[in-house]
Amino acid sequence: MKEFWRDALTLAIKTAASTAIAVIGVSVLIHIVNWDLIVSTVVLATVFSLLIAFVDRIIACTEPDGSSIDKHQINKVVRVMLDPGHGGSDPGAVGPTGLLEKDINLLVAKSVAAILAPVAAVKLTRDTDMALGANVNADLTARANAANAWGADIYVSIHCNSAANSSATGTETFYYTGSTPGAGLAKAIQTRIAAAVSLPDRGVKTGNFAVLRQTNMPACLTEIGFISNPAEEAMLKSPVFQALMAGTIADGIAAYLGLKLPAPGAGPDSAVSPWAKESWEKAVAAGLFDGTNPQGALSREQAAIVFDRLGLIKA
Ligand SMILES: [Zn+2]
């Protein structure tokens, strides 16, 4: 019975469409000498066909290449590829107390992704402790290829710095030599990092890194502190510093892309309520929150991070 109604409806639509076309055709014939009418009919027909093609795309929810889009992502046209450096058998740099660069890169990248999720489509080159290739070169190429294949609008690689001299200190962000968009992205992120943290600003630099060279979109690689410096290793280990760094990188990305991040609840200047003061201070001291915006709303994903860091989630 359902099929009957569907067929009837299709027939009705087709009849209406052919009637409309016939009416337009007849009016064109009647007014064939009237060029204005012919021109306006052609313009109208073109506008309608473009409109129908556009509506078809929305209904079908497919990309031009035919692959399907998550319907909730339709408005999130901006694509951000975040790249937590290293992973798996490649730990990256190792701090004096054994802190692994790959772990900090991943924690910060995941937080950046969570912050940007409401305003952009965000992907990570890896979201677990894994390598993307059999060797370092294959791994780096796989990261760039993933961004290129997805058609990312920007690419941001997150690393911790390292030097033989343990007093080397500060933050810096690289872009590929000659890439003006890359320079703009690097500057948007680095200026905000420099303003947000007390570490020395080593500035924006050019670098011939594989992930910057092999990516097709504006790309940068940010070094969020020296893991080889004992004081900076301790900072990098702190969830407060990680959260601050993630928020700052997300701010820089949003600014570069012209995106407006949702206001975080009551705002960073809100005061803690007297009844919550003791617990709030304990939570801040334990590194669960960064000490700002005590009355801000907690999203489900932020709650998951808090529960996870408390060890309350059984794998
Ligand atoms: Zn690294």
Residues 173 and 138 in one domain: yes
**If you search the block for the tokens 């007297």, which residue do you land on?**
274
Residues 183 and 84 in one domain: yes
The alpha carbon of 232 is separated from its chain's Cα centroid by a whole number of angstroms, namely: 26
Confidence at 1, pLDDT banded by 50, 70, 90 = very low
User: 223, 232, 278, 281: which is the annotated catalytic residue?
Assistant: 223
Residue with the larger pLDDT of the pair 289 and 249: 249
Does residue 223 carry a catalytic annotation? yes
Strands (E), 28-164: 79-84, 121-124, 154-161
- pLDDT for residue 27: 66
Read off the pLDDT of residues 154-164 as tens digits, 9 standing for 90 and up.
999 999 999 99
What is the whole-number distance in angstroms between the Cα of residue 170 and the centre of ligand 1?
15
Residue type, 75: N
Q: Which residues are near ligand 1, the ion (C-beta closer than 5 Å)? A: 85, 92, 159
Residue with the larger pLDDT of the pair 71 and 100: 100
Please check the confidence at residue 69 and state whether its pLDDT lies above 50. Answer: no
Confidence at 30, pLDDT banded by 50, 70, 90 = low
Number of C-beta neighbours around residue 179 at 10 A: 19
Residues 120 and 184 in one domain: yes
Q: Looking at the domain assignment, is residue 268 inside a domain?
A: no
Q: What is the mean pLDDT of residues 149-155?
A: 98
What is the whole-number distance in angstroms between the Cα of residue 63 and the centre of ligand 1?
34
Q: Looking at the domain assignment, is residue 225 inside a domain?
A: yes
Residues 91 and 56 in one domain: no
Q: Looking at the domain assignment, is residue 233 inside a domain?
A: yes
Residue at which a domain ends, from 214, 232, 257: 257
Question: Percentage of the chain surpassing pLDDT 70?
Answer: 71
Helix (H) or strand (E) segment spanning residue 165: none
Q: Looking at the domain assignment, is residue 67 inside a domain?
A: no
d(CA 105, CA 283): 23
Number of C-beta neighbours around residue 220 at 10 A: 34
DSSP annotation of 90:
B
What is the whole-number distance in angstroms between the Cα of residue 92 and the centre of ligand 1?
5
Please check the confidence at residue 314 and state whether its pLDDT lies above 90. Answer: no
Q: Looking at the domain assignment, is residue 262 inside a domain?
A: no
* CATH code of 151's domain: 3.40.630.40
d(CA 251, CA 239): 18
Burial 9-47 (b: 16+ CB within 10 A, else e): eeeeeeeeeeeeeeeeeeeeeeeeeeeeeeeeeeeeeee
Residue at which a domain ends, from 213, 232, 257: 257
**Structural domains of the chain, count:** 3
Residues 17 and 55 in one domain: yes
Residues 134 and 212 in one domain: yes
**What range does the domain containing 303 cover?**
274-309
Please check the confidence at residue 296 and state whether its pLDDT lies above 90. Answer: no
Any idea which of 34-38, 169-173, 231-235, 308-312 has the lowest mean pLDDT?
34-38
Residues 302 and 166 in one domain: no
pTM, 2 dp: 0.64
d(CA 260, CA 123): 19
What is the whole-number distance in angstroms between the Cα of residue 159 and the centre of ligand 1?
4
Residues 227 and 278 in one domain: no
Q: Looking at the domain assignment, is residue 48 inside a domain?
A: yes
Residues 163 and 105 in one domain: yes
- pLDDT for residue 67: 47
Confidence at 63, pLDDT banded by 50, 70, 90 = very low
d(CA 164, CA 46): 66
Q: Looking at the domain assignment, is residue 200 inside a domain?
A: yes
What is the whole-number distance in angstroms between the Cα of residue 302 and the centre of ligand 1?
26
Confidence at 72, pLDDT banded by 50, 70, 90 = very low
Q: Looking at the domain assignment, is residue 267 inside a domain?
A: no
Residues 251 and 282 in one domain: no
Mean pLDDT taken over the chain? 83
What is the whole-number distance in angstroms between the Cα of residue 8 and the centre of ligand 1?
63
* Nearest residue to 249 (alpha-carbon basis) of 128, 116, 143: 116
Residue with the larger pLDDT of the pair 294 and 8: 294
d(CA 69, CA 51): 20
Please check the confidence at residue 55 and state whether its pLDDT lies above 50. Answer: no
Read off the pLDDT of residues 194-213 as tens digits, 9 standing for 90 and up.
999 999 999 999 999 999 99
Please check the confidence at residue 288 and state whether its pLDDT lies above 90. Answer: no
Confidence at 49, pLDDT banded by 50, 70, 90 = low
What is the whole-number distance in angstroms between the Cα of residue 180 and the centre of ligand 1?
23
| 48: Cβ contacts below 8 Å, ≥ 6 apart | none
Q: What is the mean pLDDT of residues 288-297?
A: 78
Residues 252 and 282 in one domain: no
Length of the chain: 315
What is the whole-number distance in angstroms between the Cα of residue 16 and the centre of ligand 1?
63
Please check the confidence at residue 74 and state whether its pLDDT lies above 70. Answer: no
Residues 299 and 242 in one domain: no
